[in-house]
Amino acid sequence: MNWRALFKPSAKYSIIALIIVGVVMGVVGYFATQQTLHATSTDEFCMTCHSNHSLKDEVLASAHGGGSAGVTVQCQDCHLPHGPVDYLIKKIIVSKDLYGFVTIKDFNTQAWLDENRKEQADLALEYFRATDSANCQHCHTRIYEDQPETMKKMAKRMHERNAKQEGDKRKTCVDCHKGVAHPYPKK
């Protein structure tokens, strides 16, 4: 190939054309990926690998599945970020699960979950801590300011006090609220 041709005026257009084609493909690719990612974020998708785990039943039995408001919170509402970029990054991390699924012996059994619950729960909690429980706050928007009248006095007091804490002293939702969807293991 004659590289000098790239800088000739006639070749310039083809480079511009290539860039345009590239951008178009990038945009199309981006939306296609979003669609795929969306499809891969339903409870059903999560439960394809976790099908023998009691996770979904636990959510349904909790306030997040069986509450009086008729809301069933989806796995992704709590476990996946809402911004597209963070979402992609987390998805890539989650894709390690594919490797785990193939390599961890007896992974998709209730016995495995019971056995490894504490370790898995703490891994999951790491994510919530790293994001200041952003997913919880996505729905629970009025915990620290403008608290609802109906909120228990004790809850109000705890939340108000926590909101005033600075730096490391300030706790995140899951520091005080463990096991809001699955039973948090004691040991």
Q: Which residues bind ligand HEC (CB under 6 A)?
A: 41, 43, 45-46, 48-50, 55-56, 59, 63-64, 67-69, 71, 73, 75-80, 97-98, 100-101, 104, 107, 117, 120-121, 123-125, 127-128, 133, 135-140, 143, 151-152, 154-155, 158-159, 162, 171, 173-182, 184
CB of 56 to ligand HEC, least distance (A): 4
Residue closer to ligand HEC by CB (options 4, 152) is: 152
Residue closer to ligand HEC by CB (options 49, 88) is: 49
Residue closer to ligand HEC by CB (options 21, 106) is: 106
Cα 97 to Cα 46, 93, 94, 152: the distances in Å are 11, 8, 5, 39
CB of 6 to ligand HEC, least distance (A): 44
Residue closer to ligand HEC by CB (options 20, 155) is: 155
- CB-closest chain residue to ligand HEC: 67
CB of 28 to ligand HEC, least distance (A): 24
CB of 29 to ligand HEC, least distance (A): 21
Residue closer to ligand HEC by CB (options 18, 104) is: 104
- Please state the three-class secondary structure of the chain as a single string: CCHHHHHCHHHHHHHHHHHHHHHHHHHHHHHHHHHHHHHCCCHHHHHHHCCCCCHHHHHHHCHHHHCCCCCCCCHHHHHCCCCHHHHHHHHHHHCHHHHHHHHCCCCCCHHHHHHHHHHHHHHHHHHHHHCCCHHHHHHCCCCCCCCCCCCCHHHHHHHHHHHHCCHHHCCCHHHHCCCCCCCCCCC
